[in-house]
Structure 1
Amino acid sequence: MKAIRRFTVRTVLPEPLTQLEELVLNLRWSWHHETLDLFRAVDPALWKAVDHDPVRLLGEVSPERLDRLAEDRRFLRRLRDAAEELREYLTAPRWYQSRPGVPSSIAYFSPEYGITAALPQYSGGLGILAGDHLKTASDLGVPIIGVGLLYRHGYFSQSLSPDGWQLERYPPIDPNGLPLTLLREKDGSPVRVRIGLPKGGPLHAQVWLARVGRVPQLLLDSDVEENEPSARDVTDRLYGGGGDHRLLQEMLLGIGGVRAIRAYCRITGHAAPEVFHTNEGHAGFLGLERIRELVAERGLAFDEALEAARAGTVFTTHTPVPAGIDRFPRELVGRYFGGANEEPAVPVDRILALGAEDYPGGDRTVFNMAVMGMRLAQRVNGVSELHGRVSREMFGGLWGGFDTAEVPIGSITNGVHAGTWVAREIQELAAREIPSLVETGSGWEEILSRPGTELWRVRGVLRRRLVLDARRRLRESWRQRGASEAETSWIDDALDPDVLTIGFARRVPSYKRLTLMMRDPARLRRILLDPRRPVQIVIAGKAHPADEGGKRLIQEIVRFADAEDVRHRIVFLPDYDMDLGRLLVQGCDVWMNNPLRPLEACGTSGMKAALNGGLNLSVLDGWWDEWYDGQNGWSIPSADGLAAPDRRDDLEAAALYELIEDHVAVTFYDRDSAGLPRRWLEMVKHTIATLGPKVLATRMVRDYVERYYTPAAGSARAMAADGYAGARELAAWKRRVAQAWPGVTVEHVEGGGDHSPHVGARLPVRVVVDLGGLDPGDVAVEVAYGRVDASDTIVEPSYLELGGAEKADGGRLRYAGEIPLGRSGAFGYSVRVVPSHPRLSGRAEPGLVALPPAPHGMTNGDLR
């Protein structure tokens, strides 16, 4: 008989062991080896059986074993030491505490978090990045509060059918069996947050608290008795359900998340956030809740509250693929935010305007969550330099009239949390040979002078570990697919700990091209089975449950890997999660990545492999485009611009095969008299020395603190000062400028001086403008100048603000200045008028610009 309800009964620990629960309930154990060693010592066999999940360990360990541990002085001493070390970690000042002007607190919103496989609340790169962000913030002492949803069925567990088709199941998750506690009021009652719905009463949610080192993480859960059955299922699955379901999830994340933060700060005394960081558009509604608060509690008008909220908001976009952005029908959003559910402080027409694609090429019927997120944030960034450029092109319509390069979307390249992803053996090797790496994060260049013997030995240990675990997983998968014991005997010899091992693991949308390696199956077979330089490939990945095309790609790979002649050299391992990902990035010699360029926003798996002594074999996309230097791996040539996708895939697959055969395998198997691949090890050491300081999440989080969080906090404080006088004044100024802007024109432009100027000369320019009733202090009149191409487009222009503002005829103003001619060749200039205000984050923020009528105002010349 099946149980009608499932729940977890927690162990009552003997008094001497109560500190174990303290350690279990702080997820720092997920990246702290000494604490994991302590858990293992509780019961080594059980620790392995529960897949290294300490909550399950304490739930299943026998009372007799606990009684023995309570009298084991050596164990108790280790327990006390671990608990004291954790308390010191949680309280001692760290990097952030020495920074001037930093925010008192930052709220970080994400729909998913990859903290540990024991807390399955992630699907892929976005969640893993969010988890690494929180862990690194903890290590650096950054006072972040993480906000997300608690999904009662997580993403999904993946298995394969006998013919290789992806199967999904959603095992129930009991929060009481996770390292979480329920957030409670001071009287002990559970905290409840509520958001209004068009009908059927409000949506209620309780709040679970996870401790990620120093960082509190709040996870909202709609499975509460106050809700109707359908409302209880709002947080059932990550990225599950249709339009209404996803919209409700995102309303709960954004609006409910802000309310959960307010409750948490009220109960605990934690500093209220000055900065709100929106990790992708899913949490964009948080800006609406902050506007509602300011209108209802501070008496601001909507536009004033918008300016105050924007000043302290950072928005990070993670996708260069338009299909990856959440877009809802406008009428659906109108139904949930309008009618009886409309908040007087946040009119539905203003909400719809924030998410409108009201720019050339936009779809007027949809509400775009990323567009809203950008309009509600004063600071926006992509996650690599290339992704920043792609994002400026994607979203340039929001700042029409400005060149793509001026679109105010920056970039901070992602990084990875070393404690989570770097193998313990690599960490211990670094501590022995270059202690400064572990102690202060310095000394990377010293790796180059170290002999590679120990590094090669450790790489062998990690490769062997991957091979053994891959065999175990492969055997389990074949049995699930219906194979008998006799049919799995070949798995004992599957893969080889001494063979060049390539890893390929990621989500399986079509643009990541899981099956590019199979473009020429016969050639792939020859590579795998080469008698002198064999290659083995370990593959993992999940397709979204609704992505039939992705599932077909997996099936194609699995069917090839099932073939008797190659199945010992290429394997697909189902149920890709953090634990499997860690084994792969640690054990593979080469990390392969072949997306359609430029559709990979960043792609951090290759960073993890690099830190573990692996080399990258990748298309120049994401972070690899930025940091490939010719010595840290191999670049797969990309046939950008080809209209025929099949032709592009053929060319890039051929290049991939050639690289593996003639470069990767040759370098790996070229050994000296001691059996060491000297050239390979030189590349590995160069990779670690040059990429190590760049790919760490400590660099990433420091960049966010210094380039985004601290300036955002300064802007927010300026807006809030003197009863939000700054926000009121800026809103009034923007309104006045927007009303007058149609009358702002460039009337006349003239350039004087020599018609054949020389390098080093200065070219006088005079401009007459009509400000349409605005004051000179409201605008800047600028000259854009520089090299021009064959179409007279100024390439990478420089800007000069003109001065003077002398009166001309008809109330117009004359501005003047001199352009420095610092280079020879084809040269050009143009002029423009843009709004100017000290509280703007940049010239393009209001999205207004006045240009001279084309082609008037452009002077070209050949400079000598």
Structure 2
Amino acid sequence: MRAIRRFTVRTVLPPRLAGLAELVMNLRWSWHPPTLELFAAIDPLVWRAVRGDPVRLLGEVPPSRLAELAADEGFLRRLDHALEDLHAYLTGDRWYQTTAVDGPRAVAYFSPEYGITSVLPQYSGGLGILAGDHLKTASDLGIPLIGVGLLYRRGYFNQSLSRDGWQQERYPPIDPYGLPLELLTEADGSPVSIAIQLPEQRTLQARVWQARVGRVPLLLLDSDVEGNAPAERDVTDRLYGGGTDHRFRQELLLGVGGVRAVRAFCRITGHPEPEVYHMNEGHAGFLALERISELMQDAGLSFDEALEVVRASTVFTTHTPVPAGIDRFPRDLIERHLVAETDGPARDGLHILPADRVLALGAEAYPGGDPGVFNMAVLGLRVASRANGVSTLHGAVSRHMFAGLWPNFDPDDVPITSVTNGVHVPTWLAGEMRTLLETELAGPAGVDGAGEGIRWADAERLDDVRLWQVRNALRARLVVEARARLRESWRTRGATDSEMQWIDDALDPQVLTIGFARRVPSYKRLTLMLRNPERLRALLLHPRHPVQIVIAGKAHPADDAGKRLIQEVVKFADDPEVRHRIVFLPDYDMALAQLLIAGADVWLNNPLRPLEACGTSGMKAALNGVLNLSIRDGWWDEWFDGNNGWAIPSADGLPDDRRDDLEAHALYDIIESQVAPRFYDRGSDGLPTRWLEMIRHAIASLGPKVAATRMLREYLDRLYTPAACAHRAVTADDFAGARHLAAWKARILQAWPGVRVEHVAASGLADALEYGTRVPVRAVVALGGLDPSDVDVQVVYGRVDENDELVTPRSASLRPTDARDGLFGYEGEIVLDRTGPFGYSVRVLPRDTLLGVSAELGLVALPPPRESITSGDLR
């Protein structure tokens, strides 16, 4: 009989064990081994059965066992120590409190998904895992950050396979009362309620759940509340589910509702209000509209003045390298939500915004853009003065992809920088490897809970015997767990016990193991390894150098093409001849990821270059002594050094089939001629000396780079702190800076058509000049009524290509010298600091001390083509 209502009955702990509840409710346990060990000690069998979920653990341990533990002095001492350690972690000064200068009072970090732990299934892939690592690392460093997201009542999905290998999805309901969450409540105990007015006199309401991620609060909005109509209750039903209207309302709730949730949280708890707002992709772009509305209502600012405040304090991170990956909504959908109904309920704050100005923020007003859509990435770039990609290569790709927003600038001048992603070391470092590194590589002050203090460079001297023991143990654990998951999968597919006997011998803990685990969009090329099935079969069954492959990944429920790729892999892996050497493990989640990235010997990544924005799974593998075998895309493009793994040559630019053939052939060749022989090349002591040498170098060269502490410090230094300082500058003295900047921009935009470079001259030019020569430059500029202080006249110089285009040029400001008849003279010099073809030009940019970046307005005045002078071959 089906129950008519579902609810959670929580455990009543003995008073002496009450501290367990506090430990469970702070997700720091998910990356704190001593607390995890404490939970496991409560009941090891139950702990394994609940797959490391401490809430379920406490619900399933019998009262008799709890009573026993309440009288166990040894356990109680461990409990007390864990509580003391947590309190010290939460209240003591950390890196930020003792080091940061001028840093933000608080940062609000918005993301549609968060991968904190598999116990809290609110993630689908890399974007969410990155967001989880961002929060954990901010906590470890003491950065005052507030996370904001949505609570999906059915998460992403659980994956299984049909008999014929087709992906099947299940959406088990998530009860927030059975998760380490608590409701955000007012002083009287009533839940905080967030409300957004929708068209047709409807209202979207949400309550706010809080997860404690160490020191960082994570606010998750939940629309499954009484008072909402069924359509509104379902807004937070599934991650990345539903059609356009559904996705739009999710993002409206995330952005607009998220800001309102932050306001309520700060009011109730006394937490400092954020000075910086960080959008992790464009999904949260509507937060800018809510903040503009607030400033117009509360501070009396105009739309333009409020926009300057928002722009100064907003950071936007783009993760997609292709336009197709960006959310785009019909313009009329946006407009309907901005126009108040005269006979409807009280106006929402959004309804005071001028619809034409809002629509302009998301308009694809560039060649090839669609005038009928509202682009969320374009919105993010227009409301944030600081934007970044997530690897050096992705930054370059993003500058080219969004160059249409700055039509007068070279792509290299587009104001999108890059901060290469990192990973949270305590989460992704396997216990055995952590013990080895902390024992062998600890600095004088030891290693803290964030993994800080590991002397990565010293990994070059790690002991071969101990390192190989760790690697063997991690591979063996993967084999054991893979067999268990494989058996579970085959049972789900309808196999009988007699059909599953082969699983006892599936995989081999002594065989070279390649891991491949990804979401399954087409560009990640799950099936590239199957391009030549016979070649792959020969690698798997090689008599002296066999290879085994463990694969995992989920396709989006609506992506039938991705599901076909999975089915193709499963069909190959079902072949009795090779199924002991290649397996597909369904239901890829954080727990499985932790097994794979530690237990594999080689991590394979073969995306279509340059469509992998970063790809952090290989970083996690590298921490554990797993060698990367990858196309030079994302992070691997900048950190591969020729000795810390292998690079698959890419054939980008060729037709798809030809490219796939060449890259698959290269993949097979590298495995056959380099990877496998090195793994099996053993000395008289049985150790693969050259393989271990490569592991040591990979750990030494990559460890300090892939750590998310490096990433967060870069965000702080290059984005958060400048944004906080800019926010203070435009809000000081009753927003005097914002008022000035808005008026100044209006004046600049009006006068700019009259700004011209009238003449450029350089003294002493010849077809060939000597290296180090200083060349005087003079420019005459018309300013169209602007003051010289409003502009920056620059000489831009450097190497040129065969088309006389400047390549990675330098720039220097020219000094004003004279004025006559409305024309202004500027002078300076260039230093011929490079040999070879050389050239220069002059440009005029707007300038103001409060301007975030000189390209912000998209305005630049250049000389007429006839004035561009190239100095020829310099010697």
TM-score by length of 2: 0.97
Classify 1:859/1:685 alpha carbon distance in 2 versus 1 (closer, same or farther; 3 Å).
Answer: closer
**Is the CA contact (8 Å cut-off) linking 1:462 and 1:586 kept in structure 2?**
yes
Partner amino acid, structure 2, of 1:636: I
Other-structure match for 2:422: 415
- In 1, Cα distance between the equivalents of 2:853 and 2:224? 44
Other-structure match for 1:305: 306
Find the residue that maps to 1:541 and give its secondary structure.
strand
Find the residue that maps to 1:381 and give its secondary structure.
strand
**Is the CA contact (8 Å cut-off) linking 2:437 and 2:454 kept in structure 1?**
no
Partner amino acid, structure 1, of 2:302: A
Partner of residue 602 from structure 1, selected from 595, 609, 614: 614
> Counterparts in 2 of 1:349-364, with a 5 A limit?
349-364=356-371
**Is the CA contact (8 Å cut-off) linking 1:748 and 1:857 kept in structure 2?**
no
Other-structure match for 1:82: 82
Deviation of 1:559 after TM superposition, in Å, equals 0.2
Q: Deviations over 1:32-71 (max 9, x none)?
A: 1111111111111111111110001111221222122112
Deviation of 1:339 after TM superposition, in Å, equals 4.3
Greater Cα offset, 615-624 or 759-768: 759-768
- In 1, Cα distance between the equivalents of 2:391 and 2:483? 36
Deviation of 1:759 after TM superposition, in Å, equals 2.6
- In 2, Cα distance between the equivalents of 1:154 and 1:62? 29
1:164 maps to 2:176 = no
**Is the CA contact (8 Å cut-off) linking 2:338 and 2:351 kept in structure 1?**
no
**Is the CA contact (8 Å cut-off) linking 2:313 and 2:384 kept in structure 1?**
yes
Find the residue that maps to 2:198 and give its secondary structure.
coil
Other-structure match for 1:333: 334
Classify 1:761/1:479 alpha carbon distance in 2 versus 1 (closer, same or farther; 3 Å).
Answer: same
- In 2, Cα distance between the equivalents of 1:345 and 1:736? 25
1:140 maps to 2:141 = yes
> Counterparts in 2 of 1:254-293, with a 5 A limit?
254-293=255-294
Deviation of 1:442 after TM superposition, in Å, equals 4.1
Q: Deviations over 1:688-729 (max 9, x none)?
A: 111111100111111111111111110000011000000100
Find the residue that maps to 1:103 and give its secondary structure.
coil
**Is the CA contact (8 Å cut-off) linking 1:133 and 1:701 kept in structure 2?**
yes
**Is the CA contact (8 Å cut-off) linking 1:302 and 1:345 kept in structure 2?**
no
Find the residue that maps to 2:495 and give its secondary structure.
coil
1:825 maps to 2:832 = no
Other-structure match for 1:787: 799
**Is the CA contact (8 Å cut-off) linking 1:528 and 1:536 kept in structure 2?**
yes
**Is the CA contact (8 Å cut-off) linking 1:499 and 1:534 kept in structure 2?**
yes
Other-structure match for 1:40: 40
**Is the CA contact (8 Å cut-off) linking 1:108 and 1:277 kept in structure 2?**
yes
1:317 maps to 2:318 = yes
Other-structure match for 2:580: 568
**Is the CA contact (8 Å cut-off) linking 1:196 and 1:203 kept in structure 2?**
yes
Other-structure match for 1:378: 385
Other-structure match for 2:218: 217
Partner amino acid, structure 2, of 1:204: Q
**Is the CA contact (8 Å cut-off) linking 2:209 and 2:221 kept in structure 1?**
yes
Deviation of 1:406 after TM superposition, in Å, equals 1.0
- In 2, Cα distance between the equivalents of 1:804 and 1:103? 37
1:718 maps to 2:729 = yes
Partner of residue 582 from structure 1, selected from 582, 585, 594: 594
- In 2, Cα distance between the equivalents of 1:764 and 1:693? 44
> Counterparts in 2 of 1:467-506, with a 5 A limit?
467-506=479-518
* Number of residue-to-residue matches in the alignment: 862
Other-structure match for 1:740: 751
Other-structure match for 2:777: 765
**Is the CA contact (8 Å cut-off) linking 2:441 and 2:454 kept in structure 1?**
no
Other-structure match for 1:425: 432
Other-structure match for 2:636: 624
Identity of aligned residues (%): 67
- In 2, Cα distance between the equivalents of 1:566 and 1:290? 58
Other-structure match for 1:102: 103
Deviation of 1:344 after TM superposition, in Å, equals 4.9
Other-structure match for 1:816: 827
Q: Deviations over 1:262-314 (max 9, x none)?
A: 00010011111111111000001111111111110001111001001111111
Q: Deviations over 1:508-530 (max 9, x none)?
A: 00000000000000000000000
**Is the CA contact (8 Å cut-off) linking 1:205 and 1:220 kept in structure 2?**
yes
Other-structure match for 2:717: 706
Other-structure match for 2:447: 438
Deviation of 1:399 after TM superposition, in Å, equals 1.4
Partner of residue 543 from structure 2, selected from 515, 531, 547: 531
Deviation of 1:652 after TM superposition, in Å, equals 0.1
- In 2, Cα distance between the equivalents of 1:75 and 1:368? 56
> Counterparts in 2 of 1:4-23, with a 5 A limit?
4-23=4-23
Q: Deviations over 1:186-212 (max 9, x none)?
A: 010000011111123321000000000
Greater Cα offset, 394-403 or 176-185: 394-403
- In 1, Cα distance between the equivalents of 2:66 and 2:255? 43
Find the residue that maps to 1:358 and give its secondary structure.
coil
Deviation of 1:858 after TM superposition, in Å, equals 2.4
**Is the CA contact (8 Å cut-off) linking 1:430 and 1:438 kept in structure 2?**
no
Q: Where does structure 2 lack aligned partners over 5 or more consecutive residues?
A: 342-346
Partner amino acid, structure 2, of 1:400: P
Deviation of 1:787 after TM superposition, in Å, equals 1.6
Partner amino acid, structure 2, of 1:450: L
Greater Cα offset, 197-206 or 533-542: 197-206
Partner amino acid, structure 2, of 1:793: E
Deviation of 1:763 after TM superposition, in Å, equals 2.2
Partner amino acid, structure 1, of 2:337: Y
Other-structure match for 1:243: 244
Other-structure match for 1:656: 667
> Counterparts in 2 of 1:505-516, with a 5 A limit?
505-516=517-528
- In 1, Cα distance between the equivalents of 2:386 and 2:846? 18
Other-structure match for 2:478: 466
Greater Cα offset, 824-833 or 683-692: 824-833
Find the residue that maps to 1:847 and give its secondary structure.
coil
**Is the CA contact (8 Å cut-off) linking 1:748 and 1:767 kept in structure 2?**
yes
**Is the CA contact (8 Å cut-off) linking 1:415 and 1:604 kept in structure 2?**
yes
Find the residue that maps to 2:513 and give its secondary structure.
strand
Find the residue that maps to 2:554 and give its secondary structure.
coil
- In 1, Cα distance between the equivalents of 2:19 and 2:35? 12
Partner amino acid, structure 1, of 2:357: R
- In 2, Cα distance between the equivalents of 1:19 and 1:833? 64
Deviation of 1:753 after TM superposition, in Å, equals 2.1
Partner amino acid, structure 2, of 1:70: A
Find the residue that maps to 1:828 and give its secondary structure.
strand
Which ranges of 4 or more aligned residues in structure 1 deviate by more than 3 Å?
341-345
Find the residue that maps to 2:277 and give its secondary structure.
strand
- In 2, Cα distance between the equivalents of 1:597 and 1:381? 19
Deviation of 1:754 after TM superposition, in Å, equals 4.1
Deviation of 1:766 after TM superposition, in Å, equals 2.3
- In 2, Cα distance between the equivalents of 1:855 and 1:389? 30
Partner of residue 367 from structure 1, selected from 367, 374, 386: 374
**Is the CA contact (8 Å cut-off) linking 1:762 and 1:821 kept in structure 2?**
yes
- In 2, Cα distance between the equivalents of 1:16 and 1:690? 47
Deviation of 1:76 after TM superposition, in Å, equals 1.3
Find the residue that maps to 2:694 and give its secondary structure.
helix
Deviation of 1:371 after TM superposition, in Å, equals 0.6
Other-structure match for 2:651: 639
Partner amino acid, structure 1, of 2:149: G
> Counterparts in 2 of 1:182-201, with a 5 A limit?
182-201=183-202
Q: Deviations over 1:570-610 (max 9, x none)?
A: 00000000000000001000000000000001001011111
- In 2, Cα distance between the equivalents of 1:577 and 1:819? 56
Find the residue that maps to 1:563 and give its secondary structure.
coil
Partner amino acid, structure 2, of 1:41: A
Find the residue that maps to 2:867 and give its secondary structure.
coil
**Is the CA contact (8 Å cut-off) linking 1:750 and 1:857 kept in structure 2?**
no
TM-score by length of 1: 0.98
- In 1, Cα distance between the equivalents of 2:778 and 2:231? 67
Find the residue that maps to 2:826 and give its secondary structure.
strand
Find the residue that maps to 2:352 and give its secondary structure.
coil
Deviation of 1:334 after TM superposition, in Å, equals 1.3
